[in-house]
Structure 1
Amino acid sequence: MSVGVLGRLMWALLAAGVGAFWMCRARRPDAKLSASLSLVKALGFACLALSLFWAVVWFAIACLRLTYPFELEWIGGAMRDHVERFLHHQPFYVPPGGGWFPYEYPPLYPWVCAKLLRWFPLPAFVIMRGVSIVSTVGCAVLIALWTKRLTAGATQTAFWALLAGGLFLAAYRVTGAWYDLERLDMLFLFLSLLGIYALDKGWVGTVVASVAFVLAFFTKQQAVLFIMAAALALWYLRNWRSLYLLLGITGLGCVIPLLLLNQATHGWFWFYCFRVPLANGIHAFLALLFLYNDLALYAPLIVLIVLVWKQAGHQMPLSEKTLLFAMSTAGVLGSWLSRAHWGGDQNVLMTAYLFIGIMACTYAAYTVEAYPHLLPGLLSLTLAQFVAIAYNPFAQIPHRQNREAGQRYLREVQTLERGGEVLCLDHGGFTVPPHFQIMGLLDVLNTLHRVPLGLAQALKAKRYSAILTEGLPGAHDAFGRMLYAFYRPVQSQYYTASWVVTGFLTPSPRRPVYIWRPR
């Protein structure tokens, strides 16, 4: 654990402890605690100011990174290859072999990006990031609108709704700096939130919500949790018409296309999107990490929720309370399961942090109605949460050395391609034709427990004139043994900077680029 992460956790826990102590004392009948009006106004202004500040900071970072010509995150280049497959009408879910094969994702995000690329002659990365940026703005708007509706029975609805949206945008870095990446997560989150927001608006809203959930499912499989949560909430409320509509539309909308896609791809759609993720299983250590590391960072808001949920719950309408609880449970559970899943990066924390923020702001708004003297404590805990997730904006922006590193790698690949086909294991988007990326290969290896036949044949035939890896693979794993049998590392290059600026920063001096040649 780095010093920075430890410092954040210590601050979050300390602030939560102090806030809990003050709130508990303030709720005692004999309490004589009081706060001046100027202090309350100052705390409220500070929270609103930080909401606006982090919203502007995120948008500025997103604009600065929009036209960056290389992948911002190390799987981004391979995601661009996914888009290119749709753009050129090439088969998508194909057997794993020596060429290209996909990640464990449904097809909606790359399909949407490919459609937009046909309409707008822009670089693929610009379109892909543009979809994420627009989706993120949509998420912030929906969070504010839903929180405002949830707090309709309180007087400070707009204030707490703005804080909920601000907390979401402020969590940009602690969720991996993912809001503007060439990845599918933000489109999935927008569609899920659209479904949640529309669900409680009569039968028309239920239809809109059902369609949104179906689209979210074909963006990321985790949408199943929100569909289940919506169904349970409607069942608990005895809203039978909406429940039947939801189950009918989402059932048919998910199952029929799934069967058609699976048939059209000879079963490979099911293999990549369901068999591969399930093969990774749940790891106890990672599940515990979520509890004592990831949730601990949001200790101020979690303490707020625990201290006031009874008071707020008594005042909230049953339908709003039920929907908020069901969706928050689904969001936190989704983050927990994904974090416990091998390969679950910080981006999977988005749903947990998002719903914790919405629940905290909603409960705070109702609590102030009955216990206005608790407002300073509620604002202090919210302010402490903003401090706990603060970050250095400049660390997320690519610099000249990052661009130079990407250009150097691209020149090396293009030089090697003059001698034949080149396989870049760690990065997509650099070779012609494109190939699988190492994470996709590891997922397949973990599922099949062997090297795919097509790849084994390609290595034995020495199909590639050169293979680029970052670091040396293990000599005892299945792929490593085969690679060492038919290729040998002949050259290594060291990079002082990486063109990747988000997530796993690679290559690095500790992970030099090795060039392998046939034996």
Structure 2
Amino acid sequence: MPELAKQHERISRFLKRLILLFILAFILITLVVMLFRINYPYQLEWMEGGEVEHIIRLLEGKNIYTEPSLEFIPYIYTPFFYYIGAGISYLFGTSLATIRFLSLFSFILSLFFNYKIIFFITKDHFWSIVGVGIYVLSFSTTGFWFDLARVDSLANLLIIISFYFLLKETKREIFLSAIFSFLAFYTKQSYLLVTIFLVIPLFIQKKKLAFFFSTVYFALVITSTVVESILSNGWYFFWNFYFPSTHHWIWSRAITFWTVDILPFYSISLAIILAYILLNYKSIFVGSNSYFIFLFLGTMLSSYFSRLHYGGFLNVLMPLVFAISAFFPIVSNGLKNSNFPSKSIETVLVVLAFFQLVLLIYDPIYPIPKDSDKKDVEQVLNFAKSVGGDVYLMEYNFVQRDFGLSSLPHYVLLNDLFISNVPQKQKLFQEFEIALKEKKFKAIILDDDLSLDLIDKYYWKTEKVFYHRVLNSKSSPYRREVVWVPK
């Protein structure tokens, strides 16, 4: 038996070294991929440019929450990302690279705090690095989103920092936790649900601290909502709360969320987490365990319903990915220290950790833009410029400014309003119809798979077609854009 234990120990030690090298390699690979992407002058994802348009609007002294028009329609996000982006852009210039750097920096800090959270509980460097590895390798499963000029990486960082302070259970740290939870909400309002779940275990164990957290958090949420709504004549509330609530649900994703998005990549982690819960069901809601259980439940529900919500892409998995990347190493360490034969169970868990990481391996070449990708976009923009007049590039924002072309509201924003039943769409609908009737646009360029009310009434589809690669989705690797001209 001693010899068998030594053999398990040698295997475990070898696998740990192999895993650490594997994780280090993919951290470096992922960072290199992001550095190759950061200076790409065009959109890595079709709504990236719109985020920069919000920042430009702030720098021009305009409110981003306004009545919808062909001049501007806001995204349905709370504004903290734009405020930070405006400050950075004021100092370093307005570009996609500047805003991508904000997301890249947020991603790196997320890795740091993820490590800190796991080590705070386990005091084990190996399992803490495993958690970091799972998060890094989730770059692909979240749609290559970590480094985009989008709100998500900053919002996820803020909730991670909030959770880190929450675990400390002192009044000072609880105050900081409430502040960072609020900032997560103020960056992306869907994090409200996550925070509600995070405060439940605090109520179970530390009622006074829970009331303190809730008072600070909801005071900031309510105050910011009232102030922003007053400053925008009510449009802040409309865009961030009322209008998203009118979106329809894609019920087919109730199953594919699990069968396509989660289980093929995280089945080992989820199985280990479930096993740990079943083995420790009597104590699972006691101590630090309870915080991770409710983090897992809150992020799972947030990601699940966001994915079912119309418009929910793979980026909505980011909160759940953080929870899995933190909880799996912690429960693995807990099982290792349980009443099982110590070295044998540790070897099994290390092997499972290795295969969990293997499930997440992605092709690092795919998300890197090629010269051909750049030329494909420039072909569209040069054609639009050659038309000689207003051209509505319905899937582009910001990038066309360098070509002397107008940056008009994104297709998604128009379509979301037109398919809704909100009365606030009527004025925009009329404005759009008048523009089409009067042939305001010499051409409209739109994805051939998409449709929009009124276009085919006043414009006809030509044979002119452009193709370009989609850098954040292998399921739809190419986009086919067609040119519409007035009838």
Confirm or deny a common fold (TM above 0.5): yes
| Aligned-residue offset at 1:392 | 0.8
1:460 aligns with 2:450: no
CA–CA separation in structure 2 for the residues paired with 1:36 and 1:267: 64
CA–CA separation in structure 1 for the residues paired with 2:130 and 2:430: 54
CA–CA separation in structure 1 for the residues paired with 2:24 and 2:219: 42
| Aligned-residue offset at 1:99 | 2.1
1:221 aligns with 2:194: no
- Counterpart of 2:200, as a letter, is L
CA–CA separation in structure 2 for the residues paired with 1:145 and 1:180: 21
2:459 aligned partner: 487
- Counterpart of 1:55, as a letter, is I
CA–CA separation in structure 2 for the residues paired with 1:281 and 1:245: 36
SS in 2 for 1:175: coil
1:120 aligned partner: 92
1:251 aligned partner: 218
SS in 1 for 2:396: coil
- Compared CA separation, residues 177 and 473, structure 1 to 2 (3 A): closer
Candidates 59, 62, 65, aligned match of 2:37:
65
Structure 2 segments unaligned to the other structure (5+ residues)? none
Assess if the C-alpha contact under 8 Å between 2:15 and 2:350 holds in 1. Answer: yes
- 1:87-135 Cα deviation digits (max 9, x unpaired): 22223112122221111111111221111011113x5111111011110
1:158 aligned partner: 125
Candidates 242, 251, 257, aligned match of 1:275:
242
Give the alignment of 1:7-406 within 5 angstroms. Answer: 36-121=8-93, 123-152=94-123, 157-201=124-168, 202-237=170-205, 239-297=206-264, 298-311=266-279, 318-370=286-338, 371=340, 372=342, 373-406=344-377
CA–CA separation in structure 2 for the residues paired with 1:333 and 1:249: 24
- Compared CA separation, residues 35 and 338, structure 1 to 2 (3 A): farther
- Counterpart of 1:171, as a letter, is S
- Compared CA separation, residues 505 and 68, structure 1 to 2 (3 A): farther
- Counterpart of 1:444, as a letter, is L
Assess if the C-alpha contact under 8 Å between 1:62 and 1:180 holds in 2. Answer: yes
2:471 aligned partner: 501
| Aligned-residue offset at 1:311 | 4.9
- Compared CA separation, residues 503 and 74, structure 1 to 2 (3 A): farther
- 1:142-190 Cα deviation digits (max 9, x unpaired): 11100111224xxxx1111111111100111111111111111000000
- Counterpart of 2:442, as a letter, is S
1:428 aligns with 2:397: yes
- 1:417-458 Cα deviation digits (max 9, x unpaired): x42x32211222225442111111222223336864234224
- Compared CA separation, residues 503 and 84, structure 1 to 2 (3 A): farther
- Compared CA separation, residues 493 and 317, structure 1 to 2 (3 A): closer
CA–CA separation in structure 2 for the residues paired with 1:505 and 1:70: 21
| Aligned-residue offset at 1:209 | 0.9
CA–CA separation in structure 2 for the residues paired with 1:52 and 1:490: 50
2:448 aligned partner: 471
RMSD over equivalenced CA pairs, Å: 2.4
Give TM-score scaled by structure 2 length. Answer: 0.91
- Compared CA separation, residues 250 and 138, structure 1 to 2 (3 A): same
Give TM-score scaled by structure 1 length. Answer: 0.85
Between stretches 293-302 and 190-199, larger displacement belongs to: 293-302
- Compared CA separation, residues 413 and 88, structure 1 to 2 (3 A): farther
| Aligned-residue offset at 1:382 | 1.1
| Aligned-residue offset at 1:286 | 0.8
Assess if the C-alpha contact under 8 Å between 1:275 and 1:447 holds in 2. Answer: no
- Counterpart of 2:74, as a letter, is P
- Counterpart of 2:213, as a letter, is L
CA–CA separation in structure 1 for the residues paired with 2:5 and 2:218: 54
CA–CA separation in structure 2 for the residues paired with 1:506 and 1:116: 33
CA–CA separation in structure 2 for the residues paired with 1:322 and 1:36: 32
Assess if the C-alpha contact under 8 Å between 1:96 and 1:455 holds in 2. Answer: no
SS in 2 for 1:172: coil
SS in 2 for 1:434: coil
Give me the identity figure in percent: 20
1:410 aligned partner: 381
CA–CA separation in structure 2 for the residues paired with 1:382 and 1:72: 32
| Aligned-residue offset at 1:504 | 7.9
1:27 aligned partner: none
- Counterpart of 2:412, as a letter, is M
2:482 aligned partner: 513
CA–CA separation in structure 2 for the residues paired with 1:88 and 1:506: 37
- Compared CA separation, residues 149 and 316, structure 1 to 2 (3 A): farther
Which structure's relative contact order is higher, taking Cα pairs within 8 Å and 6+ residues apart?
A: 1
- Compared CA separation, residues 171 and 90, structure 1 to 2 (3 A): same
